[in-house]
Amino acid sequence: AGRAEAGSDRFPFTPIAAQTDGTVHVPEGYSWEVLARWGDPLFSDAPAFDNATGGAAAGSDRIFGENTDGMELFSIGNHQVIAVNHEYANRDVNLPQREGGVPEHADDVTKLQNLQGVAVFEVAKGDAGWEVVIDSPFNRRITHLTPIRISGPAAGHEMLRTEADPEGKLALGTFNNCGAGRTPWGTFLTCEENFNGYFGASDEAHEMPEDFKRYGISHDGWGYDYHKHDARFDVVATPNEPRRAGYVVEIDPADPNSVPVKRTGLGRFKHENAAVVLAADGRVVVYMGDDERGEFLYKFVSDGVYAPGADTEALLDEGTLYAARFLDDGRGEWLPLTEETTGMTKAEIAILTRMAGSNAGATTMDRPEWVAVNPNAVEAYCALTNNKNRGIKPNAGGDETPVGGPNPRAENNYGQIVRWRPDADDHAALGFDWDLYVMAGNPDVHEDARKGSENVHTGNLFNAPDGMMFDSTGLLWIQTDGKDNNEGDFAGMGNNQMLVGDPVTGRIERFLTGPYGAEVTGLAWSADRRTMFVGIQHPDAPFPDGEGRLPRSAVIAVWRDDGAMVG
Ligand code: FEO
Ligand code: CA
Ligand code: CA
Ligand code: CA
């Protein structure tokens, strides 16, 4: 059977089988190639990639960074410009010559700081396929060292002031850039997630403030050891620095000299992505997950309305944050985070947003990852990736995590996707109806709730939904970041993958599989929608260069051999 017969018009491909090997697979009739991998030059003066060392510190801000994540493509005049996150650093891969990947001196730390953040670069399709346009005037790296303006209700607050920045209005760096978003006015939103891991304390007896515990800031950090070589990351020397991270950052991809802006009005937590949609009256609505077991789902609604061509500076600064409360009967409500509901000032709500959500009584969730807004219906979807603590332990801040509502399974190690339809077809509405689009599971292994929902079957098994994007036709692309050992509870699921789901019928089919060890995350389309760009993050396989080479996170291009559109 040909591709056209294999599926309905909505699924113009033959779904592929689960895979366990070290490369990428796509359906018959589709092809892929690497667009950019960690270490590829963005500028002609960049150093060549060195497989023995992962490259020197010098010039490490002139190359494509590591661990590609959230991604958007912008059409700027005749140019196609991709903005993509470089979420974190695999130290053992980035510093292969150091025992355990532990930085030995400040140069090692500088290199790690440069390999993360954001890359902006032009792409073009030539005779050799898609390529980065080296030295394009749009090309830019934003790193852990780039000046970033702080705006919104927290700007200038005493909790954000440091010796280097006594006004609390100019930070250095954007951190752990995970998912992304785009605004109607053509800017990129990059979302700071596990920023806590970069900080540590030079004194093991140093007493951490209460809010550091809720945000996971610890004496040892997560092994980056920045604090041992750069006092800005030592909370003894620079106690407010961690409060200057954990925001959504706005970047103008059309102006490589623009200063990115931390939009504190969107709150401070472990931001996954930022899904932007306009309310019925033109106000800007931003849906955002906080990816931690037992944390919350948020939305922001601007005070002002978006008008094409009008000034947008205040739209992400002035507005109201809400956290979601889900009821068991399929209803839910957005709880405004205000002085009345939280007992906190507007600046405190922007900086200590998790506590504000707790004070308002929001529902603890199974790790909210990406939110995606359906272009064909007034509804939004959030991937709740998994939560081994559900029903077992409270979250890090002490909120209980009872089983119920959209988090229906204890010790949930498969994940689910919740969706909600706002009242009156208006994303600014306070009430909504919700249901579960899919509960991942394994019907070949389990007969209880762990078997998953009806739309899960032997041919589309997956766990840990994470990245999600709707295409222009209203299909939901689902990317996974789960267990890929392919055994026990996870038998038959294979490597992490990208599936496509029909929101109307619930049908879900597997489209792409990644190399072992990798997560598939980040998705964007070329201007003509005949190519999709897909991120392959943290492979364990020696992808894409082959045996004996370091694994290199990469953005790949995927297209249909007959040149038809792919979303
Ligand atoms: Fe960076 Fe929650 O994924
Ligand atoms: Ca993610
Ligand atoms: Ca994840
Ligand atoms: Ca990841």
CA distance 242 to 233: 8
249 CA → ligand 2 middle, Å: 17
pLDDT band at 384 (very low <50, low <70, confident <90, very high): very high
Q: Which string of DSSP letters, residue by residue, matches 246-276? A: SSEEEE-TT-TTPPPEEEGGG--S-B---EE
- Ligand 1 pocket, residues with Cβ under 6 angstroms: 87, 178, 193, 272, 291, 369, 466
pLDDT at 5: 38
CA distance 161 to 157: 7
Inter-CA distances, 379 with 67, 274, 320, Å: 30, 15, 20
Ligand 1 atom closest to residue 176's alpha carbon, by position in its atom list:
1
496 CA → ligand 2 middle, Å: 12
> Which residues are registered as beta bridge partners of 409?
none
Tens of pLDDT, residues 350-376: 999 999 999 999 999 999 999 999 999
What's the whole-number mean pLDDT along residues 455-462?
A: 98
Rounded to a whole number of angstroms, the distance between the first and last alpha carbons of the chain is 22
pTM above 0.90, yes or no: yes
What's the whole-number mean pLDDT along residues 286-305?
A: 98
92 CA → ligand 3 middle, Å: 20
What's the whole-number mean pLDDT along residues 427-437?
A: 98
Tens of pLDDT, residues 152-166: 999 999 999 999 999
pLDDT band at 2 (very low <50, low <70, confident <90, very high): very low
Ligand 1 atom closest to residue 270's alpha carbon, by position in its atom list:
2
Tens of pLDDT, residues 220-270: 999 999 999 999 999 999 999 999 999 999 999 999 999 999 999 999 999
pLDDT at 134: 98
pLDDT at 483: 98
**Residues by chain with Cβ below 5 Å of ion ligand 2:** 369, 466
CA distance 338 to 345: 8
Whether 1 has a pLDDT exceeding 90, the answer reads no
CA distance 264 to 511: 37
What's the whole-number mean pLDDT along residues 378-389?
A: 98
Whether 522 has a pLDDT exceeding 60, the answer reads yes
The complex's ipTM works out to 0.95
pLDDT at 4: 38
pLDDT band at 8 (very low <50, low <70, confident <90, very high): low
